[in-house]
């Protein structure tokens, strides 16, 4: 495994190339750089598309599945389809970071299309970190698509973080929730330079007692631009909440367009959004404690995105 892959894996999925206990699949520049199934978690190549099927047996509890993908050099355009089938009553963690290294003049791109099928009572913690590195003038692009289908009583939390260095990202996430299913999505994005980040969530609360909580926190520095769009459709007795908090700095631009639609009299939907710069008092307080302006700013942003 090359040192760039090692560095990216370390940052996006806490994998340093050493032995891993659980199931994993490492994708490197469009190829499989390592795979392991376990007794209850099978990882299989798809027959007609690039990508894998991850099959988690019913009642599998406590396993962590790593499926990082890296693009290590310029000119790569990687497209992958990964499907996760989570058996009834299973409770697993899935770590799916993506790192793109670009040291050349062409674009380096990773497009991951992920679909999740949660059977009755299944629980998933899905952690996704996106990172770009390298000194090339070519763009580092990550455009993930995530689709989630949740059966009765299932639960999923999706923690998605874009750390830095991704020049352009367009993130599409859709979810359909059955009876009493709960979905939590926590998104953190920081953009700098002239980066662009776009988020689109569409959640259909179809089942009685279903609920969704979408929380986005973002920081836009430099001349970067961000667009946050979320759509929650309440089609049954359900609860939906969406919040978008954004800090703008320098000449950063942020748009937030949340959309709530109550199609059922027992749907309860709430949204809040706030966009602004760091409050002056916060800066003053930290600077009287001895921090420079830059240190104070970093401290506040670190806390905001934690």
Report if residue 212 touches a copy of itself, rule: CB under 8 A.
no
Report if residue 268 touches a copy of itself, rule: CB under 8 A.
yes
Q: Which residues contact 146 (CB under 8 A, 6 or more apart)?
A: 114, 115, 116, 158, 171, 172, 173, 174
Give the separation between CA 153 and CA 88, rounded to whole angstroms: 10
Min CB(198)–a copy of itself separation in Å: 13
User: E-strand spans in 221-295?
Assistant: 225-234, 238-248, 253-262, 267-276
Residues 237-256 interacting with a copy of itself (rule: CB under 8 A):
246, 248-256
Applying CB under 8 A, among 267, 286, 296, 300 the residue interacting with a copy of itself is 267
Q: Is 5 left (phi over 0), alpha (psi -120 to 50) or beta?
A: alpha
> Can you state the angle between helices 280-288 and 293-305, rounded to 10 degrees?
120
Q: Among 93, 42, 101, which residue's Cα sits nearest to residue 66?
A: 93
Min CB(266)–a copy of itself separation in Å: 6
Give the separation between CA 85 and CA 77, rounded to whole angstroms: 26
Q: Quick one: tokens of 81? A: 């389809």
Applying CB under 8 A, among 234, 286, 297, 300 the residue interacting with a copy of itself is 234
Report if residue 263 touches a copy of itself, rule: CB under 8 A.
yes
Min CB(258)–a copy of itself separation in Å: 7
Among the listed ranges 27-35, 111-119, 265-273, 293-301, the one in contact with a copy of itself (CB under 8 A) is 265-273
Applying CB under 8 A, among 26, 98, 163, 275 the residue interacting with a copy of itself is 275
Report if residue 282 touches a copy of itself, rule: CB under 8 A.
no
Min CB(261)–a copy of itself separation in Å: 4
Report if residue 300 touches a copy of itself, rule: CB under 8 A.
no
Applying CB under 8 A, among 125, 262, 283, 291 the residue interacting with a copy of itself is 262
Q: Among 203, 200, 201, 197, which residue's Cα sits nearest to residue 218?
A: 197
Strand 238-248 with 182-191, pairing: unpaired
Min CB(183)–a copy of itself separation in Å: 18
By CB under 8 A, name the binding residues for a copy of itself: 234, 246, 248-263, 265-277
């Amino acid at each position: 495994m090359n040192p760039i892959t090692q560095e990216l894996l370390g940052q996006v999925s806490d994998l340093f190339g050493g032995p891993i206990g659980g199931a994993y699949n490492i994708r490197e520049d469009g190829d499989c750089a390592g795979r392991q199934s376990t007794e209850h978690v099978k990882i299989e190549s798809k027959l007609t598309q690039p990508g894998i099927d991850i099959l988690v047996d019913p009642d599998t509890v406590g396993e962590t599945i790593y499926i990082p993908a890296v693009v290590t050099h310029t000119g790569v355009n990687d497209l992958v389809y990964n499907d996760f089938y989570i058996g009834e009553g299973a409770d697993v963690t899935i770590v799916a970071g993506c790192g793109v290294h670009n040291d050349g003049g062409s674009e380096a791109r990773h497009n991951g299309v992920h679909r999740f099928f949660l059977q009755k009572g299944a629980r998933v913690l899905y952690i996704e970190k996106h990172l770009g590195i390298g000194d090339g003038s070519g763009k580092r692009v990550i455009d993930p698509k995530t689709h989630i289908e949740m059966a009765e009583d299932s639960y999923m939390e999706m923690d998605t973080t874009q750390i830095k260095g991704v020049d352009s990202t367009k993130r599409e996430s859709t979810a359909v929730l059955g009876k009493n299913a709960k979905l939590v999505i926590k998104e953190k994005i920081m953009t700098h330079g002239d980066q662009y980040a776009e988020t689109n969530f569409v959640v259909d609360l179809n089942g009685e007692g279903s609920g969704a909580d979408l929380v986005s926190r973002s920081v836009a520095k430099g001349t970067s631009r961000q667009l946050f769009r979320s759509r929650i459709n309440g089609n049954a007795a359900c609860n939906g909440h969406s919040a978008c908090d954004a800090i703008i700095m320098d000449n950063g631009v942020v748009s937030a367009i949340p959309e709530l639609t109550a199609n059922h009299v027992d749907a309860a939907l709430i949204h809040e959004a706030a966009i602004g710069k760091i409050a002056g008092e916060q800066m003053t307080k930290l600077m009287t404690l001895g921090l420079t302006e830059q240190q104070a700013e970093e401290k506040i942003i670190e806390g905001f995105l934690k």
